[in-house]
Structure 1
Amino acid sequence: MKCTFLFVCLLTFAAVWNFISSVDIRFRKYEFVFEGYRCIPNETAFEYENISDSYKCSKLCHVNNACLSFSYKPDSYQCIGCRVNLGIRPSSYESYPGSLYFHTKTETSCKEISENNRFVPSGQYKIRLSKSKKVQTVYCDMDTDGGGWTVFQHRFDHSLYFNRTFSEYESGFGALNGEFWLGLKTVQEMTYQVRPTLRLDVRTDDDMMFTETYQNFYLDKGPRYTLRFGEQVNDVGSEGYLKTNKNQHFSTYDVDQDSASASNCARNNGGGWWYNACTWISLNRAVRSRDGMLNIGTYGHTGKYITTSKMMFR
């Protein structure tokens, strides 16, 4: 009798598993977000009538590969599946009074957003930090080399003052739609376990672009926030100057953690950085002028001055 019962259970499990595999159920978890909205028709995966409750609506979204979120309207029993998580793009949703909106749990990186939401543009997105569970707004570069990059430093118009205190560098400063520094605490939490790829893009005063890319990037925990990374990817035209900053602690004018015993590199250069003694490259230096052109640092021993910079990871 027990053997028969066990055999029936195994057959049932196999049948259920085959069904799950055939419809590609992905066991996504949904969370209630807000009331009164639905996705626009161009972002709609399906619309069903006479769905008795939101749980059944969620099951319909589960078994549809194109569905990432859904709206359910209790008074009319209407279920609407959406191809995007609403809030990713303001233009992706519209008012729908009386509805309840649920979406997949917030992604933890720009890479996840890029993988889960097709054709999303560069811009500001909300992610959930994996350890603290804090919801953080970040800027995602969805254009460079396939997209999915979380930008943590961007300078392009010399409008933001970068000679800041250690506390400010920990927390971050600036505006994500302009020049900014995301913050050492956030970068450390996002990279310590994942070990993503680090990328630097700089433009020099002779309008040349240089890129440095490194594997296995992360920061040690504070207060040192030591810069760690692995091998350099094959970057054409790059000397790999950031290698001189590898394994260095982060320093500012008020917290000196560099390797120079007789000076404070951050005070001399006017900006926080992973200084050695001192550095071939610093992207956070105070803005200076050379022959009437503003710059934010030098690039290696070439005599080139940096005019714009971007640091990001994926």
Structure 2
Amino acid sequence: METFCEKKNPKLSFGKKVTYLVLVWLSCAFANDCVKPFQMKSEFLNKRLNKHYIVELKVQNLHMCARECFYVSMCKSMDYFHGSCKLNDADSKSVSQGEFQHKPGSIFSDVSDWPHVIAGACGQRPCSETQKCIPFKGGYKCEEIQLFMPTDCTDVKRYFPSATSGQHEIKLWKSRKTLSVVCDMDTEGGGWTVLQTRFDGSVDFYRNSTEYEYGFGNLNTEFWLGLKYLQEMTSQGKNELRFDLMAADGTTVHETFPNFMSYHNGMHFTTKDEDRANYIKNCAIHCHGAWWYNACGGVNLNGQYVTPGITHPLGHWVGVIYQPFSLQSLKETKMMFRRAITNDV
């Protein structure tokens, strides 16, 4: 068999459904038998595990990423991509295939696939789940670690720079509740937390106040995140709001508001069972939706989804409309917000 150094980037046949036995030259600082076998599984080439973050580090190569995983007791697997090493708290046996994302050039591996000798005395994982093992004077020492959980998609972007668009886990900064959210990491620099998305009418948005408070729908399709979570996330600082809209003919527009709260202009959110608008009738019932209505104005992105491009038989105000763009029912909508980053955050 050929023995090679990982830095030479050997060419592998990515298409074959087999397990590759790759001999990696492990520059072991703490072991004499430095050439150890590592089984690289072809099904995890060009794959990355979504969520399950512990920390993301910059390293020189793949085996250094594996070594870092051994140091952190709770690390079960890692994702390596061009010097970026993401440590995970789950392995391939404890997650579903749907949690993996195709990412060309990325390599996922379970720490159990690696020889523990690459981490020296720390390879036996002598420290507790809340500690990190540090090589020290031929042995090791254990240090407490402070785990970081992002509080919104702005944090995900900042602290996990290789994170991609899709679902991520966050921990709300005040209530400490763990929540799955959809992050947009592609639009205008990324870091957007998606509040609402609609594109096919598969989810009914004519809901009561409790449902709008705690959210509804499916993060994989159409959904509303929830006013309760929106309020907590935006209370961390100044947030901008963005609308991305598509008409029936594919025409798209977007509008960004520098301050989320100023967009509402003091209006309260009205639902069919809780009228808080400034009007003689319940605007949510009148418009068959829910919104920060002001006299049942010309924005109704949570209105009834009808065939895109038509005017609702009961009036344009009943459909999914945005008057500055079109009074005909829209095909797709997305609402998202992003916290401003300051130097002291």
Measured against the shorter chain, the TM-score band is: 0.5 to 0.7
- Which residue, out of 213, 216, 225, partners 1:170? 213
Q: 1:296 to 1:87 in 2, by over 3 A?
A: farther
Q: 1:186 to 1:253 in 2, by over 3 A?
A: same
Structure 1 residue 165: Cα displacement: 0.6
Match of 2:272 in 1: 253
Count residues with an aligned counterpart.
231
In the alignment, the residues of structure 1 paired with residue 309 and residue 229 of structure 2 have an alpha-carbon distance, to the nearest angstrom, of 37
Matches within 5 A, 1:146-161: 146-161=189-204
* Contact in 1 for aligned 2:277/2:283 (Cα 8 Å): yes
Match of 1:288 in 2: 306
Q: 1:74 to 1:191 in 2, by over 3 A?
A: closer
In the alignment, the residues of structure 1 paired with residue 272 and residue 86 of structure 2 have an alpha-carbon distance, to the nearest angstrom, of 44
2:324 is aligned with 1:308? no
Match of 2:205, SS state, is coil
- Which residue, out of 292, 313, 332, partners 1:274? 292
Q: 1:257 to 1:93 in 2, by over 3 A?
A: farther
In the alignment, the residues of structure 1 paired with residue 72 and residue 298 of structure 2 have an alpha-carbon distance, to the nearest angstrom, of 62
RMSD: 3.7
**Unaligned runs of at least 5 residues, structure 2:** 1-25, 32-53, 60-64, 91-98, 102-107, 114-123, 131-144, 313-317, 339-345
* Contact in 2 for aligned 1:86/1:93 (Cα 8 Å): no
2:321 is aligned with 1:298? yes
Structure 1 residue 194: Cα displacement: 1.6
Match of 2:20 in 1: none
Match of 1:133, SS state, is coil
TM-score with structure 1 length normalisation?
0.63
Structure 1 residue 49: Cα displacement: 5.3
Match of 1:313, SS state, is strand
- Which residue, out of 170, 182, 185, partners 1:139? 182
Match of 1:105 in 2: 148
Identify which of structures 1 and 2 has the higher relative contact order when contacts are C-alpha pairs closer than 8 Å and 6+ apart. Answer: 1
Structure 1 residue 106: Cα displacement: 1.0
Structure 1 residue 130: Cα displacement: 0.6
Letter in 2 for 1:152: L
Match of 1:71 in 2: 69
In the alignment, the residues of structure 2 paired with residue 187 and residue 199 of structure 1 have an alpha-carbon distance, to the nearest angstrom, of 14
2:164 is aligned with 1:121? yes
1:226-276 deviation per Cα after TM superposition (whole angstroms, max 9, x unaligned):
xx13xxxxxxxxxxxxx5x5321000000000111x211101111111111
Match of 2:283 in 1: 265
Range with greater deviation from structure 2 (166-175 or 97-106)? 97-106
In the alignment, the residues of structure 1 paired with residue 311 and residue 89 of structure 2 have an alpha-carbon distance, to the nearest angstrom, of 40
Q: 1:291 to 1:145 in 2, by over 3 A?
A: closer
* Contact in 2 for aligned 1:197/1:215 (Cα 8 Å): yes
Identity of aligned residues (%): 35
Match of 2:154, SS state, is helix
Letter in 2 for 1:71: C
Letter in 1 for 2:230: V
In the alignment, the residues of structure 2 paired with residue 111 and residue 149 of structure 1 have an alpha-carbon distance, to the nearest angstrom, of 6
Structure 1 residue 291: Cα displacement: 6.8
Q: 1:206 to 1:105 in 2, by over 3 A?
A: same
Q: 1:303 to 1:216 in 2, by over 3 A?
A: closer
Range with greater deviation from structure 2 (270-279 or 101-110)? 101-110
In the alignment, the residues of structure 1 paired with residue 239 and residue 28 of structure 2 have an alpha-carbon distance, to the nearest angstrom, of 41
1:182-237 deviation per Cα after TM superposition (whole angstroms, max 9, x unaligned):
000000000013221111111122322121111232xxxxxxxxxx13xxxxxxxx
In the alignment, the residues of structure 2 paired with residue 90 and residue 159 of structure 1 have an alpha-carbon distance, to the nearest angstrom, of 25
Matches within 5 A, 1:209-220: 209-217=252-260
In the alignment, the residues of structure 2 paired with residue 47 and residue 276 of structure 1 have an alpha-carbon distance, to the nearest angstrom, of 67
TM-score with structure 2 length normalisation?
0.58
* Contact in 1 for aligned 2:69/2:87 (Cα 8 Å): no
* Contact in 2 for aligned 1:251/1:274 (Cα 8 Å): yes
Range with greater deviation from structure 2 (163-172 or 194-203)? 194-203
In the alignment, the residues of structure 1 paired with residue 270 and residue 165 of structure 2 have an alpha-carbon distance, to the nearest angstrom, of 31
* Contact in 1 for aligned 2:277/2:293 (Cα 8 Å): yes
Match of 2:21 in 1: none
Matches within 5 A, 1:180-191: 180-191=223-234
